Chain A
Amino acid sequence: METDWIMGLVGGLMIGLAASLYLLGNGRIMGASGIIGGLVDKSEWSSAADRIVFLIGLMLAPSIFIFIFDFEADTKATTNVIILILAGLLVGFGTRLANGCTSGHGVCGISRLSIRGIASTIFYISAGAVTVALLRNLWGAIQ
């Protein structure tokens, strides 16, 4: 769709504003994997309340938005259970090992001109691109 890039830009600006608010207000990096991971392995238990509240907002707000504005939302995710579990494990382990994901290394890291953020982003995008190319061409698993 022609409007996709406008929605992308508007949504992107909102993501950037959310990260700015978290940084300038609470002095923290808005990285999804770090916020979740610090709870899961209890490594950063002291800030647990802030993290939980952040995640509640992240979980509730999109659904409330969908409900109020009758917004059409569909993840179009695969129904292949094995792919979903394997992907989830890889994303969980990989982001914690690398200490960041699309939001932490990508949005917050690159905007800070962090070498680690830029390197991480190059690696996960490259690995993702190879994976999608293999999925499409070898298995025909996705449209």
Chain B
Amino acid sequence: MGGYTIKRLIAFCSGSLFGVGLLLSGMTDTSKVQGWLDFFGNWDPTLAFVMGGAMIPMFLAWRVSKGRKPIYAENFPAEPQSNINRDLILGSALFGVGWGLAGLCPGPAIASLIFGGSQSALFVLAMLLGMRLTPQIRSQISSSSAT
């Protein structure tokens, strides 16, 4: 198998594992997500365990990556800039509002596309449209705030 084939196999396995993990953990259940966000009401702590569980392997993976190269790529993603800018704050806040409204974020929305019926389909369509329009809207915000 060539490197490209193996890369695709890794991508497929990773996506599959991610999907089943989201399903088992309850991330595709909007009532659990909204229950976790309900800090001022009947708070459901499950998602803290999901986040915590996901951090453990990833924390180790980042450690392992130090001073090494990925198996099937040239280099690891560059250390991100540390600046917290307007796009990060505004984007994260708007995302949070949408997440709270429907209880779905991008990964679980795709993971539930087949079993989630018309609700998941509609949400994903709107999400794709939002993503598609982002470059245009972003340049509009930038030009209007520059003047």
Contact = CB atoms under 8 A, between A and B. Distances in A.
A36 B110 contact: yes
A50 interface: yes
Interface in B32-86: 32, 34, 37-41, 44-62, 64-65, 69-77, 80-84
A29 B131 contact: no
A29 B50 CA distance: 18
B38 A132 contact: yes
Contact of A57 (B15, B72, B116): B15
Interface in A91-122: 91-99, 101-103, 105-112, 114-117, 119-121
B114 A59 contact: yes
Contacts of B16: 18, 57-58, 60-61
Given A8-B50, A10-B53, A65-B23, A55 B110 contact: yes
Interface residues of B, number: 115
B116 A75 contact: yes
Contacts of A15: 17-18, 21-22, 25, 50, 53-54
Interface in B3-17: 4, 7-8, 10-17
Interface in A119-142: 119-121, 123-133, 135-137, 142
A129 B49 CA distance: 18
B62 A22 contact: no
Contact of B18 (A18, A120, A132): A18
Interface of A: 4-5, 7-30, 32-33, 36-37, 40-41, 43, 49-51, 53-63, 65-66, 71, 73-79, 81, 83-99, 101-103, 105-112, 114-117, 119-121, 123-133, 135-137, 142-143
Given A62-B22, A90-B97, 16 more contacts: A13-B54, A16-B58, A18-B14, A19-B54, A26-B11, A33-B106, A59-B110, A85-B122, A87-B98, A87-B104, A88-B122, A88-B130, A96-B130, A107-B51, A109-B80, A131-B37
